[in-house]
Homo-oligomer: A and B are copies of this chain.
Amino acid sequence: MYAFSRSVNSMHSEDIKVLMKLSSGKSLISFAGGMPNNDLFPIHEMDEIYNGLTDDLKKLCFQYGPTTGYPPLIASLEKFLNNKGLPAATNKILVTTGSLQAISIITQEFVNEGDVILTENPCFVGAISIFETYGAEMVSIPIDKNGIDIERLKETLAKLDKKPKFLYVTPTFHNPAGINYTEERKRKLMEVLSGTGIVLIEDDAYGDLYFDGKDSKWIRPMKSYKNYDVDIIYTGSFSKILGPGFRLGYMLASPEIHEKAESIKQALDACTSNFMQILANEFLSKGYLEPYLTFLRNEYKERKQMMQDSLTAHMPSEIQWNEPRGGFYIWLKLPLTMKSSDVFNACLKKGVVFVTGRTFDPHNVKDDRIRLSFSNMPKDDIDPGVRILAEAIRQYL
């Protein structure tokens, strides 16, 4: 049941601290962390919310809640998800301790050791770590700039002698690749999965962080599509739209999948913190979210543009990258002769870190990519950091 998982350096401040020690006291420019910068959190709005709570609500903050979630938060989420076209009325919401817990619960629900599951390649490292821990055999399908490679998916399905339990995808502002699935690609994916009985896990942690409001239409989740015979579990998170420290996520799934998931959730931590759920619910229900999202979208768009401009100015012509339309990440492609891990070591000596491509390969091999996050460092660090990175890359050309 238990297997050692790879370390998810990309996520944890502790690891960042270790990196800081390694870089021997120099201050570090980190393009590594997939988290918001501390200065972007809505602490003043939360002060207002906390101090506006009635004593009865404060008492409820301290108490156990239902395993499925704090009912007013579930109601707020139903409204929020309905507005995205998601079937919140016919499906059920389970509030989880971060959306990572949702992926963990789903894995525990569907996977026995040795079962096959499908992932994208590259894939969110937190999910890889869960799939490894529960002994899933990962089979990965490459993605291109428009989404998962449909032909490779078909070939893989034809070759496999076991039916995969599920396919895990992050179609919007992909982590680490920064791409979006086009609507066409999403429909093709649904056609391929239709009737196969393979569950689709649609991870939408970044969907609200588009840079251009016009995109909000076509990036809508597959879970909102009609007329396909695919069981989709949709997962969402408060980590990118409020703060990871709340450890709040949710999954929207059919009543059958929900019922077993609730039972597993009960055996994991009984229920998610009422305190965190009550504060988050006030944030949603009192209308704090939309203005905060407007602020975040502008902020991340500006950061993206700064990194984009800096890359254009300093990177050698051999290096390619995407221009993301939302989210946190730019995914650099190195020449095949160059290893991301080598560039990492060279950069670390000069006080710049990022996450190596190999980290996101479910098979821990492919290493010709670099994930740069523009969400977490002070803006003034972007250009100096990119210069150092470009210099390190030049050494290996």
A residues with CB within 8 A of B = 1-2, 4-5, 8, 11-14, 33, 35-36, 38-39, 41, 43, 46-47, 50-51, 55-56, 58-68, 96-98, 100-101, 104, 108-109, 111-113, 126, 129-130, 132-134, 239, 242-247, 260, 263-264, 266-276
Contacts and interface: CB of A to CB of B under 8 A. Distances in A.
B104 A2 contact: no
Contacts of A11: 64, 270
Contacts of A130: 267
B38 A269 contact: no
Contact of A51 (B51, B108, B244): B51
A165 to B, nearest CB: 11
Contact of A246 (B13, B104, B270, B275): B275
A41 B66 contact: no
B271 A12 contact: yes
Given A5-B266, A67-B14, A104-B267, A59 B46 contact: no
A263 B104 CA distance: 13
Contacts of A14: 65-68
16 contacts: A1-B134, A12-B270, A12-B271, A13-B66, A38-B60, A41-B59, A46-B62, A63-B243, A97-B247, A129-B267, A244-B274, A245-B273, A247-B269, A247-B271, A247-B273, A276-B276
Contacts of A47: 51, 58
A134 B245 contact: no
A264 B133 contact: yes
A74 to B, nearest CB: 11
Nearest to A245: B274
B126 A245 contact: no
A339 to B, nearest CB: 26
